[in-house]
Structure 1
Amino acid sequence: MESMTQKDPSQFCDKEFPMTDKDFEFICELVYNTCGIVLGDHKREMVYSRLARRIRSIGLRDFKEYCELINQKNSPELSECINSITTNLTSFFRENHHFEFLENKALAEMKSRHSVDKRVRIWSAGCSSGEEPYSIAITLAKHFPTPWDFKVLATDLDSNMLYKAKNGIYAEDSVDGLPSEKMERGFVRSKANRQVKVKPGIQEHIQFKRLNLLQQWPMKGPFDVIFCRNVVIYFDQPTKVRLFERYWDMLADGGYLFLGHSESLSKDSPNFKSVGRTIYQKI
């Protein structure tokens, strides 16, 4: 029986929009060179289904034409291509052990470190539709009242997700199960349309910016904590190592890096020590 991952040149030629091996390989290479995301053969169906929507919406005939379009210099469609391929699965206070560590351990260290300047900085790298940075800001707001100056930098590659994040409006069921204390601190309910909106007092502490993690970073740091969860799973090992080195440079001494539940630092990143489940401290 033929392997499910083996390439079949005709597999995607009898669909609505023909996609040859050459088309798929071009897309994989362009996506990798643009943002470091590795697309294997097992992602072929996903790539087809998501980009077929783009081809249909802009009126092209096939993937060959689409490849020509995204290969044009400064093509705005390249951004739409990346937006379509990246996965954005998140929720408020997802992987709650990170927020418990932030509140019960890291915040006390920040207060001591910044007892004079009262300036706290956290980076949500790969913030998706905003649930993560809002969860961080809601946590910090409880512990850093005026005159403390705390800011959360929230970055993502996907411009569509950033637009949603900046609006701060979510379906009511997205906050189901949150404690009443977090609800009261962070959200206003709209019973008319079954939505919640993040309170302005929380939003004012967050700056949303589009950022490709593999390109130059305009910010200088240092950050007390960096959240980079469920992002590096898309990168190959050399890209991960370079990224972790750059995070190390951006962290304050003793600062923390939080990764996703299926991610970890390897022996190639000796300048961090594990201090909890997918929690690492700069050494």
Structure 2
Amino acid sequence: MIDISNRDFTRLVTFIKHNYGINLANKRQLIMGRLSPMLSRLGYANFTDYIDYIITTEHKSDIDQLLNRLTTNYTFFMREVNHFDYFKDTVLPQLVANKKDRTLSIWSAGCSSGQEPYTLSMLMKEYLGSDFDKWDTRILATDISMNALSLAAKGIYSEDALKDMPNGFKSRYFRPLTNKTDYQVINEIRENVIFRTFNLMDPIRFKRPFDVIFCRNVMIYFDKDTKEDLCRRFYNATYPGGYLFIGHSENLTNKDLPYEHIMPSAYRKPLR
């Protein structure tokens, strides 16, 4: 394992925190353990030369490789299923009843390999039925990792990955591939999700506010101030009455945040 000096550790932690919000201040052993094999493979004998390169490079793929090593793009279908139940049983009926322009504006922020936005799209298809094509239901799905987004856009998952899907979803929304072990999300659902790279530290300047934002199990890497700043920007990018869902291991504890707490890890922007 390649050792990292105090100076280089501080430089790397500061660079990642400033640019990507990820707090690695207490992750010295993780950094050495996960990056040392990569540095050796790339021909670096020490962290100094690698960090000199990484903080100046314009090659997004190299940053992507670094972040993939230091974070875990782990997710699965129907993770924290109570959020999906609430979305299906409460949020969707409410939005459909009140959205006169027939547009549902939903953002899956930190979508990883795509299970979350695809599930949301399937739930909208289930609820709207034959009216699905009459609504603009396209979901914005973003992640900082190009590698994760590339996998997500393909929409290919193992048969075992679909074991927790609701009854009938596998037959309706996936098609078996020729290898007979993998399944791909059908075109109608894949085309309803727009995948984009986006750094959550950047200003949120999309064309319209969102009715619902899912940002789950992303802020576990952020410190308190970074998390609260992001949630304020989410709040400003949400329609009155809109929702924010975060991971069960994450909490909004600052009483100054104006969201209403509606259920575990779920919040709503007041109508007024």
Residues 194-205 of structure 1 mapped to structure 2, 5 A cutoff: 194-205=181-192
Amino acid at match of 1:203: R
TM-score, scaled relative to structure 1: 0.89
SS in 2 for 1:66: helix
CA distance in 2, matches of 1:52, 1:218: 37
Map Cα deviations across residues 26-66 of structure 1 (whole Å, 9 max, x no partner).
Answer: 1111110111111132x222212222233133222221111
Match of 2:238 in 1: 251
Map Cα deviations across residues 167-209 of structure 1 (whole Å, 9 max, x no partner).
Answer: 1111221112323322123211236241111110101110000
CA distance in 2, matches of 1:242, 1:177: 34
Map Cα deviations across residues 50-105 of structure 1 (whole Å, 9 max, x no partner).
Answer: 22233133222221111111122524423321232121110011100000000000
SS in 1 for 2:151: helix
Query: Does 1:136 pair with 2:120?
Result: yes
CA distance in 1, matches of 2:230, 2:141: 17
Residues 1-283 of structure 1 mapped to structure 2, 5 A cutoff: 15=1, 17-41=2-26, 43-76=27-60, 77-114=62-99, 116-144=100-128, 145-190=132-177, 192-283=179-270
CA distance in 1, matches of 2:149, 2:37: 21
Amino acid at match of 1:29: T
Amino acid at match of 1:139: L
SS in 2 for 1:180: coil
> Structure 1 stretches (4+) deviating beyond 6 angstroms?
none
Structure-2 change in CA distance of 1:269 and 1:88 (3 Å): farther
Once the two structures are TM-superposed, the CA of residue 216 in structure 1 deviates from its matched residue by 2.4
CA distance in 2, matches of 1:263, 1:159: 25
TM-score, scaled relative to structure 2: 0.92
Residues 188 and 198, structure 1, Cα contact 8 Å, conserved in 2: yes
SS in 2 for 1:93: coil
- Extract unaligned runs of 5+ from structure 1: 1-14
SS in 1 for 2:201: coil
Residues 130 and 162, structure 1, Cα contact 8 Å, conserved in 2: yes
Amino acid at match of 1:37: I
Amino acid at match of 1:39: L
Residues 83 and 159, structure 1, Cα contact 8 Å, conserved in 2: no
Structure-2 change in CA distance of 1:21 and 1:193 (3 Å): farther
Once the two structures are TM-superposed, the CA of residue 155 in structure 1 deviates from its matched residue by 0.4
CA distance in 2, matches of 1:139, 1:31: 36
Residues 134 and 203, structure 1, Cα contact 8 Å, conserved in 2: yes
Amino acid at match of 2:163: D
Question: Is the deviation greater in 249-258 or in 97-106?
Answer: 249-258
Residues 122 and 151, structure 1, Cα contact 8 Å, conserved in 2: yes
CA distance in 1, matches of 2:147, 2:182: 19
- Extract unaligned runs of 5+ from structure 2: none
Residues 217 and 246, structure 2, Cα contact 8 Å, conserved in 1: yes
